[in-house]
Amino acid sequence: MTLPLTLSVAAILFALGVFGALTRRNAIGVLMSIELMANAVNINLVAFAHYTNGVAGQTFALFAMALTVVEVAVALAIVVLLYRTRRDIQIDLASEMQR
């Protein structure tokens, strides 16, 4: 695998994540799509670090993982809250406020 090839994989993964985040109607589905985007970020960072012999990218990837975990922990708590108040986690149902 060369650097451009690895970056392409990451780019495709990121695009898939964006597509999923915009089209999914289930809150967990959207969160999984966001995870895909976050994984694309990490592949990118690690690939750059590997092919340019830098450690900064690896460090950045570790921080990026920690940030994603923090975000997902809060996100799942809010989805549970959504389920408790509505008995459903379809996000198009969660639009009672006026546009």
Partner 1 sequence: MTPEMVWVGLQPLSADLVLTAGLLSVLTADVLMPPGAKRVLGWGALATLITAFVALIVLEPTGWSFGRSYHGDAFATFVKAVFYIGGALAVLAGLESSESRWPRRQGEYHLLILASTLGMSLLAGAKDVITLVVAFELMGVPLYVLAAWSRDDRRGTEGALKLLLSGGVSTAAILYGLGTLSGLASSTQLELMANHATMMPTPFAAIAAAIALAGVGFKLGVVPFHFWVPDTYEGSPSPAVVFLAVGPKIAGLVALVQVLLAGDDGLRLASWAPLVALATLSMLAGNLLALNQSNAKRLLAFSGVAHVGLMLLALAMGTQDAIASLLFYTVAYLFTNAGVFLVVHALGGDGSIASFDGLARRNAGLGMMMLVFLLSLGGIPFAVGFWAKLYLFLVAWGEGLGWFVVLAALVSVLGLFYYLRIARAMFMNPPADPTPVKVDTSTAIAIAVCVFGVVGVGLYPGPLVAAAEVAARAIVP
Counting residues that bind partner 1 (by CB under 8 A) gives: 45
What is the 8-class DSSP label of residue 90? B
Query: Which positions from 55 to 74 touch partner 1 by CB under 8 A, shown as an x/- string?
Result: -xx-xx--xx--xx-xx--x
Instruction: Identify which of residues 5 and 77 has a Cβ nearer to partner 1 in the complex.
Output: 77
Asked if residue 97 binds partner 1 (CB under 8 A), the reply is yes
CA-to-CA separations, 68 to 21, 29, 64, 75, 95, in angstroms, rounded: 15, 16, 6, 10, 26
Residue type, 5: L
Contacts of 13 (CB under 8 A, 6+ apart): 36, 37, 39, 40, 43
Tell which one of 44, 87, 90, 92 touches partner 1 (CB under 8 A).
44
- Positions touching partner 1 (CB under 8 A) are 7, 14, 17-18, 21, 27, 30-31, 34, 37-38, 40-41, 44-45, 47-49, 52, 54, 56-57, 59-60, 63-64, 67-68, 70-71, 74-75, 77-79, 81-82, 85-86, 91, 94-98
